[in-house]
Copies of this chain bind each other. A is one copy, B any other.
Amino acid sequence: MPNEPIDTRAKILEAAVQVFAQKGYHETRMDDIVNESKTSKGSLYFYFPSKQDIFFGLIETFTGLLESRLKEAIAAEQHGSEQVDSALTASLRLFSQYRTLAKIVLVQAVGLGAAFEERRRTINDRFAAIIQARIEKGIQDGSLPKQNADLAARAWVGALNEIVIYWIYTGTPDLETAIPEIKAFLLRSIGVGNK
C-alpha cells in the first residue's frame, strides 16, 4: 500500500471528475488522472484497478451525497407530504450544485454498456424506494390521498432524471430557479393540495 495521506482516494476522484468532464470517459487514460490528481500511478491502481472502478467510485460518491441529503431533509420534517416536498428541494439543489459530477454520472454513464446500465437501474430502484416510503407515510398520516405510491415514485424518478439530463445538455431551465415549478408539478401529481 502506498504511503500517502488518507485523502488520496478523494483526491483521485476529484481529479477524475475534472478529466472525465473535459475529455469524456472513453478518451480519458489512467495517466491523465495520475497527472491531474498529482498522485502516483501506484496509488491510483491501488485504489482503482481500472478506469471503470473510478467511474463506479464517482457514481457512489454522488449517490452517497444524494442519499445523505435526502436523509437529512426527511428527518427534519414530520408528515409524509412535507418529507417528499423537502426531499425534492434537497435533490434538485444537489444536482444544481454538482452539475459537473451529475453530468458524468447521469449523462456519460449512459451508453457505456450493460454493466453501467445495470448499476443505473439499481440506483433508480433505490431512490424510487426512498420516495415510495415517504409517499406511503403520507398516505398513512393523512397528509396525502390514497394512491399507488410505487407507480408515483417510479414516475418521479423518471421525470427528475429527464428534467436534470435536459438541463445538463441545454442549461435550461436553470435548475435552481425552476425548483418551485418542478416541485409544484410533481407535488400536484401526488395530490398535494387536493386531498
Residue in B closest to A159 when the chains form the complex, CB atoms: B155
Min distance, Cβ A84 to any Cβ of chain B, angstroms? 14
Q: Any chain B CB within 8 A of the CB of A117?
A: yes
Please give, as numbers and ranges, the residues of chain B lying within 8 Å of A185 by CB-CB distance.
147-148, 151-152, 155, 189-190
Distance of A100 Cα from B58 Cα, bound (Å): 34
Q: Any chain B CB within 8 A of the CB of A3?
A: no
Min distance, Cβ A165 to any Cβ of chain B, angstroms? 8
Chain A 34-75 against B: per-residue CB contact (8 Å), 1 yes, 0 no?
000000000000000000000000000000000000000000
Please give, as numbers and ranges, the residues of chain B lying within 8 Å of A147 by CB-CB distance.
181, 185
Min distance, Cβ A35 to any Cβ of chain B, angstroms? 25
The prevalent SS among residues of A at the interface is helix
Given the contacts A186-B189, A188-B189, A121 and B169 also touching, CB distance less than 8 Å: yes
A181, B117: Cβ atoms closer than 8 Å? no
Per a CB cutoff under 8 Å, which of B150, B154, B182 touches A151? B182
Please give, as numbers and ranges, the residues of chain B lying within 8 Å of A110 by CB-CB distance.
110-111, 117
Residue in B closest to A153 when the chains form the complex, CB atoms: B162
A162, B113: Cβ atoms closer than 8 Å? no
Per a CB cutoff under 8 Å, which of B111, B151, B189, B191 touches A178? B151
B111, A117: Cβ atoms closer than 8 Å? yes
Q: Which residues of A contact B (CB under 8 A)?
A: 110-114, 116-117, 121, 124, 147-148, 150-152, 154-163, 166, 169, 173, 178, 181-182, 185-186, 188-191, 194
15 CB contacts below 8 A, A to B, read A121-B169, A147-B181, A147-B185, A148-B173, A148-B185, A150-B173, A151-B173, A151-B181, A154-B163, A155-B159, A155-B182, A158-B161, A158-B163, A188-B190, A188-B191
Closest 7 CB pairs of A and B: A158-B162, A189-B189, A155-B159, A158-B158, A111-B117, A159-B159, A158-B159
